[in-house]
Structure 1
Amino acid sequence: MTGPLKLVVMSDLHLVPEGEVSNTLDTAARLRAAVDSVNTHHADADLCILAGDLADLGEADAYRRLQCIVAPLTVATHLMLGNHDDRPTFLKVMGEDHADENGHVQKVIDIKGHRVILLDSSEPGLVEGKMCPARLDWLAARLDEALDRPVIVILHHHVLPLSMPVDSIILRDGPALVDVLRRHPDIRQVIAGHVHITTTGVWKGLPFTTLAGGHYNVSVNLPGHADTQDRLEGPGQYAVILAEDDACVVHFENFLDRHPVIAPENFGRLRAPRR
């Protein structure tokens, strides 16, 4: 292995068709800023993973726009789905070869002595995530094939409960997923988007991380917290994972640092045209 494995993970892009914004945010401009940041600061990365919620409402025009915006990325890019995505539309635009034999958008990548598993946690019609028996069996088989190397798992939905409102849309099958993951002796990181906030934690000895992503952020809102939960314009953030033989660290690169609160009336409805 020459140097550490370097992965860039973006999430929650929420792209919209030309001329529209999502909750007042120009998500296309934000993604362009993220692409410029990666090309400027992390062109040496081995992979860039776009970990779901690629489109705001799963429209074909949004996926076609995604193709154009990420085309300048100098890093090999892999796509995943989240609850805002539409799997049939995504596959029609991006290609049926993104799906496995069960129709899930997931894969393994063996690189620099590591196995990177991109796990599809999206389920049509659900905001929360799901791990069906087919996906758990697929994951178990992929882990058993890689007992001789460390594993990094990336999925859209958070697994570890955060004691925040977003737990209402958590991965439904978290305990079952953890039981499968624990069959492997060296899970270095399980990283997700979905929650629009940066967190780290441990569950049954496994490390879990979430990144804030490219869309709006949420403020901390724990039990007993005196304030309501705000949704903020920033930061726009992606994760950078550095993994070596005996270590794995996750950094967070903020490509946008604006943090004003977005007014509540800009949520609870569909998008508006750009002003």
Structure 2
Amino acid sequence: MTREPVATHRIAHVSDSHLTASGVFHEVLRPAATYSAALAALEGSGIPIAALVHTGDVADEGEEAAYTAVRAVTDEVLDRTGWPVLWAAGNHDVRAPMRQHLLGEAPDDAPLDRVLEVDGLRLVSIDSSIPGRVEGGFEPEQLAWLREVLAEPAEHGTVLAMHHPPLPVEVTAMARLHLTGQEALAEAIRGTDVRAILAGHLHYATSSVFEGVPVHVAPSLAYTIRLTRPGGGVIAVDGGRAAGVLSLYDDGRVGHTSMPTDPAGVLTSTPESVFASMGVDVEH
């Protein structure tokens, strides 16, 4: 009998919701609705989610009302699911109103760096936003804090969340908006228990490896960007939205599965019993 690895934790991953105070984005998009649809898809999947991670650009212009709307939409789901949430700040976010109106804390402009422990798994968000800039980076004090956090391994390791991903950028125009100082980040996580890095910012799904750690980028829940030829600029589309599910397995492996969140009709539904009679028996 073949044994499949068992997931010890499954982490829901969303990014770049870009809510606005007016409720409208780029004149036609309704980001509260697309964000709500993503949470509904995750909740309705039946997947035993251990926590929700949002990797930034929660609001498009850092407006107080936008963060209040995000909190209302999220709390409605959390009241039913009980999911703990880890938030990362993006380049469109503004730290003080995000703290006050989303996190319920005193307004402050310091970096939003956080640690969330979930059943032996350590989730860490580090703020890659640079106020007034689009590209990302970290202050030396942040990396010193990260090294201190990671000095003691967690039972099930660590997942690191940030807005700007430490990976090659495939859309040429977006490469100018990348994460700076990646060598210092690599040094900070080298030899630690970091098992995966979650990020956003690029508005398209992609993955890579950084310092031996898999990096997974979730597409935007507001609009997505198409891959284009080098020098082809940026093409934004109203579609292709998805959430991610990060699975951490008992044999040390990790996986990241994309879950489409745009409306789609069901073509067919095949019950589990049909597959039970096929192929090799699988033990979980």
State which of 95, 105, 111 in structure 2 corresponds to 1:96: 105
Q: Which moved more, 1:143-152 or 1:164-173?
A: 143-152
Once the 2 structures are TM-superposed, how far is the Cα of residue 109 of structure 1 from its aligned partner? 2.2
Please identify the structure whose Cα radius of gyration is greater.
2
Query: Hey, what does 1:175 align to over in structure 2?
Result: 183
| Counterpart AA for 1:155 | M
Query: Hey, what does 1:47 align to over in structure 2?
Result: 51
2:260 is the counterpart of 1:254: yes
Q: Distance in 2 between matches of 1:211 and 1:40?
A: 19
Q: Distance in 1 between matches of 2:16 and 2:222?
A: 6
Unaligned runs of 5+ in 2: 1-5, 265-284
Query: Hey, what does 2:174 align to over in structure 1?
Result: 166
Query: Hey, what does 2:12 align to over in structure 1?
Result: 8
Q: 1:149 to 1:47 in 2, by over 3 A?
A: closer
| Counterpart AA for 2:85 | T
Q: Distance in 1 between matches of 2:25 and 2:222?
A: 11
State which of 104, 115, 124 in structure 2 corresponds to 1:117: 124
Query: Hey, what does 1:63 align to over in structure 2?
Result: 67
Once the 2 structures are TM-superposed, how far is the Cα of residue 257 of structure 1 from its aligned partner? 6.0
Query: Hey, what does 1:141 align to over in structure 2?
Result: 148
Once the 2 structures are TM-superposed, how far is the Cα of residue 135 of structure 1 from its aligned partner? 0.6
Name the TM-score, length of structure 1 as normaliser.
Answer: 0.84
Q: Distance in 1 between matches of 2:254 and 2:119?
A: 13
What secondary structure is seen at the aligned counterpart in 1 of 2:149?
A: helix
Q: Distance in 2 between matches of 1:19 and 1:152?
A: 32
2:89 is the counterpart of 1:81: yes
Q: Distance in 1 between matches of 2:259 and 2:107?
A: 28
Once the 2 structures are TM-superposed, how far is the Cα of residue 181 of structure 1 from its aligned partner? 1.2
Deviations 1:185-227 (A, max 9, x none): x43211100000111112342322211120211111253x7x5
Q: Matches of residues 16-55 of structure 1 in structure 2 within 5 Å?
A: 16-22=20-26, 24-42=28-46, 44-55=48-59
What secondary structure is seen at the aligned counterpart in 1 of 2:215?
A: strand
Name the TM-score, length of structure 2 as normaliser.
Answer: 0.81
Once the 2 structures are TM-superposed, how far is the Cα of residue 147 of structure 1 from its aligned partner? 6.4
Q: Distance in 2 between matches of 1:198 and 1:20?
A: 24
2:221 is the counterpart of 1:214: yes
Deviations 1:65-108 (A, max 9, x none): 11111122122223221110111111232322697xx9321222
